[in-house]
Structure 1
Amino acid sequence: MSLPDLNLLITLDVLLAEGNVSRAAKRLHLSPSAMSRSLTRLREATGDPLLVRAGRGLVATPRALKLRDQVSRLVQEATAVLRPEEQLNFQELVRTFTLRSSEGFVENFGPELIARVAEKAPGVRLFFVQKPNKDSAPLREGLVDLETGIIEKTTAPELRVQALFRDRMVGVVRAGHPLSQGAITPTRYAQGQHISVSREGLDKGPIDDALGELGMVRNIATVVAGFSTALSLARASDMIASVPGRHTRNLRAGMFSFPLPVAAQELTISMLWHPRMEGDAAHRWIRGCLHGICAAHHGDSASPEDLVKE
């Protein structure tokens, strides 16, 4: 079955609005003969004369009158589909955005993001969900609008990525901990009781590799899934947590933070989204809000000393 020529809808809309072949032709920048041929095709497609002569003019048939409003609406809707999205009216925008990130990220940046969104678009709600793994399926399936984290080899290659800030690992202990006094050497650091952070339950990572190059091994007392949990344990014990400095700025308040005494890899925290949301105006806006908040808090890079002062 052949598809109808949908361009004829535009022709029919103009013909019914003008009720005159010559005026309709002029409006569509066609010759009168070309418009007459289009009218013939419309009559064949609909099985109705649509416009019939009455004296020197043309009048619409009952079928044409019945179609007029419907055709006009279809043309307007089709035109809107093919037109760039209009500027957002933030006061009327009603939408929920789902953001998938770690608890530390939400506690550090969430309050300011919520406040900025509420001020600009009171009808927008943010829904934060935990990030138990690095699976990209929620973004692909539309269950999540945005995600924050470190790009991994397992990250889906089609995802759009924008860097938010760079970070480094710092050590954190409770106020009054022995490490809060005197120089922190690799030996003093390694001899402490450590909290390892791993969603996969691993007790070894880049810090252990760096210590291994010095011939040292740290004592892992426990393994937890998140930085927030690690800091809570360190705050209430003599254990040492090693966490991203900027990522956990607010969570470390009242604790003693120090640059790691071993070489620590710099981390890039990024924002990820699915390409189908690339052109969505509201989605672009929420991405801009998040990027702006992170940029306002942090420069492109910082030393470990800068991170522990924040």
Structure 2
Amino acid sequence: MSTPDLNLLITLDALLAEGSVARAAQRLRLSPSAMSRALARLRETTGDPLLVRAGRGLVPTPRALELRERVAPLVLEAQAVLRPVELLDLAQLERTFTLRTGDGFVENFGARLLARIAAEAPGVRLRFVHKADKDSTALRDASVDLDTGVVGETTSPELHMRPLFHDRFIGVVRRGHALSRGEITLARYMAGRHVLVSRRGQDLGPVAEALSALGLQRQIVSMVGGLSAALALARACDLIATVPERHSASLSEGMFSFALPFSTPPITVALLWHPRMHADPAHRWLRECVRHACSEQPDTPVPR
């Protein structure tokens, strides 16, 4: 069975509405002969004459009258599908978005983000899932709507990316730790015992690379998978946690933070999403909400 030409629905709608080949042709910006050929195809497809001559005009057949009630809504619906999305009604939006975030993101930015969403779109829910790796499969298969993280060589080039904020590494110790008093020199930092944040259990990354360039290596006595665990150990023991400043701000409250006594390159935390979601109005609104929540986070200088 051949596939019907759906363009004929638009032609049929114009013919039934106008009751005239000439006026229907003018409405669709076609020549009268082209419209006559289209009417012939419609008659062949439907098996009905549809419009028959009565005096100097055309009148619809019973089949045409039946179709007129059904064709017009179909054409309107098709036009609505192909029309650009109209202004998003946030008050009526009901949707659940999944955000994959690194350790510390929810603790530092989650409350601000939820407050804005509650004020603008109370029907929206956020589901936060932990970022265990940099694999982009979750974005590709739509199990995750947005991802956050440091863009690196393993980031898929197909993804859209928008920088959220810059961060830097700092040291954090408990109040009363030896480093909380006096000048923090490279020698004092290296003499301390350190807790390392590493999902792979290896001392890699900007801090290790900066120290390696100086011919130095920290004394790592514990390795953990996230910031909260590292800071919990540093709070309870005489350990030094070297962590991203903004990601650890709320987790390190009440502790002593200090600028590192050596240079490390800044890191850029970005928002990532799949091209499939780029033009979606609700998704675009959510991206702006996340950017707003992160950009308003104040930068608090750490003591030296």
Q: Which residue of 2 aligns with 1:308?
A: 302
Identical-residue share of aligned pairs (%): 60
Please give the alpha-carbon distance, in whole angstroms, between the structure 2 residues aligned to 1:281 and 1:123: 15
* Separation in 2, partners of 1:41, 1:204: 71
The separation in 1 between residues aligned to 2:281 and 2:179, in whole angstroms, is 50
Q: Residue 172 of structure 1 contacts residue 243 of structure 1 at CA under 8 Å; is this kept in 2?
A: yes
How far is 1:198 from its partner? 1.1
One-letter amino acid of the structure 2 residue matched with residue 231 of structure 1: L
Distance in 2 (CA, whole Å) between partners of 1:193 and 1:217 is: 11
- Structure 1 letter corresponding to 2:190: A
The corresponding residue for 1:129 is 129
Determine the C-alpha separation between the residues in 1 that align with 2:68 and 2:201.
66
Q: The residue matched to 1:97 in structure 2 has which SS? A: strand
* TM-score, with structure 1 as normaliser: 0.91
Aligned to 1:242, the other structure's residue is in SS state strand
Matches within 5 A, 1:218-237: 218-237=218-237
Higher mean displacement: 177-186 or 64-73: 64-73
Listed as ranges, the matches of 1:155-234 within 5 Å are 155-234=155-234
Cα distance, 1:307 vs. partner? 4.2
| Separation in structure 1 between the aligned mates of residue 113 and residue 204 of structure 2, nearest angstrom | 34
Q: Matches of 2:271 and 2:111 in 1, distance apart?
A: 18
2:21 corresponds to 1:59: no
Q: Which runs of 5+ in 2 are unaligned?
A: none
State the Cα deviation string for residues 131-155 of structure 1 (Å, max 9, x = none).
1111110000000000000012111
Deviates more, 1:185-194 or 1:1-10: 1-10
The alignment partner of 1:241 has SS state of strand
Matches within 5 A, 1:36-75: 36-75=36-75
For the residues of structure 2 that align with 1:160 and 1:132, how far apart are their CA atoms? 20
Change (3 A) 1:185 1:24: same
Aligned-pair CA distance for 1:208: 2.6
Cα shift at 1:32: 3.3
Offset of 1:241 from its aligned partner? 0.7
State the Cα deviation string for residues 91-137 of structure 1 (Å, max 9, x = none). 11111111000230111011010010110011111111111111110
- Aligned partner letter, 1:75: V
| CA distance, structure 2, for counterparts of residue 275 and residue 307 of structure 1 | 37
> Structure 1 residues 200-209 or 102-111, which shifts more?
200-209
In 2 relative to 1, CA 307–200 (structure 1 residues): closer, same or farther, beyond 3 Å? Answer: farther
User: Does the 8 Å contact 2:97/2:127 carry over to 1?
Assistant: yes
| Runs of at least 5 residues in structure 1 that lack an aligned partner in the other structure | none
Q: Give the 3-state SS of the residue equivalent to 1:194 in structure 2.
A: strand
The answer to whether the aligner puts 1:148 opposite 2:168 as a matched pair is no
1:254 aligns with 2:254: yes
Deviations 1:177-235 (A, max 9, x none): 11100111111111211111111221344323322333332111111111122112211
CA distance in 1, matches of 2:101, 2:301: 21
SS of aligned partner of 2:222: strand
What do you get for the CA RMSD once the two structures are aligned?
A: 1.9
Q: Is 2:103–2:247's contact at 8 Å kept on the other side of the alignment?
A: no
Could you tell me which amino acid in structure 2 is paired with residue 72 of structure 1? A
Quote the residue 2:95 is aligned against.
95
| Paired residues of 1:172 and 1:241 also in contact (CA < 8 A) | yes
Once the two structures are superposed, the pairs formed by residues 4-15 of structure 1 within 5 Å of their partners are 4-15=4-15
Amino acid at match of 1:77: E
Using the TM superposition, give the Cα deviation of residue 56 of structure 1 relative to its aligned residue in structure 2, in angstroms. Answer: 4.4
Q: Distance in 2 between matches of 1:225 and 1:248?
A: 14
User: Measured at CA, do residues 139 and 307 of structure 1 come closer, stay the same or move farther in structure 2, by a change above 3 Å?
Assistant: farther
Taking structure 1 as reference, are residues 200 and 70 closer, same or farther at Cα in structure 2, changes over 3 Å only? farther
Q: Residue 245 in 1 paired to residue 239 in 2?
A: no
**Matching residue's letter, 1:183:** E
Structure 2 CA distance, aligned partners of 1:69 and 1:198? 66
Q: Residue 293 of structure 1: SS of its match in structure 2?
A: helix
- Does the 8 A contact of 2:161 with 2:271 survive in 1? yes
**2-side partners of 1:31 and 1:213: how far apart?**
77
